[in-house]
């Protein structure tokens, strides 16, 4: 069995989770930033990581998901500033699943990630995003050791499902 862990990361949060997943995977494996992946043929499972941007998969990641071969086994993971299990992160996973038509989605994992102070400052200036920015401030320090442990457990479960 062979696994690919790929990710798009803006601030390092998603890359940190990708490395935890990669470390936990106990099969032949490779880890690459999304823009370095040339071909997914030959991988039994592809882990795809991204930061949640406005409750969706980032535009840069969408063509990659859509372009996966029919029947490809995938597992999604993401980081976000909102509360774990909140509406915005759930909507992003639903977006990812919708983009993965024809693929076999085995599962998804999400955890909080630190949001840059520049983004929080910009969001604090808009009344419609101020409440979210306040919540995002509490994501500082994430992903933490507990988040990375959960990511590793997710990886192990996805490998078991892929087998």
The string of pLDDT tens digits covering residues 13-28 is: 999 999 999 999 999 9
- pLDDT band for position 87 (cuts 50, 70, 90): confident
- pLDDT band for position 146 (cuts 50, 70, 90): very high
Domain ranges (residues) in the chain: 2-115+142-162
Q: What is the pLDDT of residues 99-138, one digit of tens each?
A: 999 999 999 999 999 999 999 999 999 999 999 899 999 9
pLDDT at residue 54, rounded to an integer: 83
pTM value is: 0.95
| Alpha-carbon separation of residue 7 from 31, 107, 119, 152 (angstroms) | 8, 16, 21, 15
Task: Give, for 46, the enclosing helix (H) or strand (E).
Answer: strand 45-51
Mention the CATH class of domain 2-115+142-162. alpha beta
- The token pair that represents 113 in the structure block: 């990630």
Q: What is the pLDDT of residues 25-61, one digit of tens each?
A: 999 999 999 999 999 999 999 999 999 988 899 999 9
Least confident of 9-13, 47-51, 86-90: 86-90
pLDDT at residue 86, rounded to an integer: 85
pLDDT at residue 131, rounded to an integer: 92
pLDDT at residue 81, rounded to an integer: 93
| Mutual angle of helices 117-124 and 130-137, in 10-degree steps | 150
């Amino acid at each position: 069995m062979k696994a690919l862990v790929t990710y798009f990361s803006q601030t390092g949060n998603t890359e940190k989770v990708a490395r935890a997943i990669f470390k936990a995977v106990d099969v032949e494996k490779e880890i690459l930033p999304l823009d370095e992946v040339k071909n997914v043929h030959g991988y039994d499972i592809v882990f795809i990581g991204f930061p949640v941007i406005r409750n969706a998969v980032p535009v840069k990641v969408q063509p990659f998901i859509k372009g996966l071969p029919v029947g490809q086994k995938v597992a999604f993971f993401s980081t976000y500033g909102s509360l774990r299990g909140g509406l915005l992160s759930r909507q992003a996973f639903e977006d990812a699943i919708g983009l993965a038509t024809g693929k076999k989605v085995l599962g998804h994992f999400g955890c909080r990630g630190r949001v840059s102070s520049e983004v929080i400052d910009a969001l604090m200036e808009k009344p419609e995003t101020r409440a979210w920015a306040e919540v995002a401030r509490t994501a500082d320090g994430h992903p933490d050791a507990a988040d990375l442990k959960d990511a590793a457990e997710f990886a192990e479960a996805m490998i078991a499902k892929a087998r």
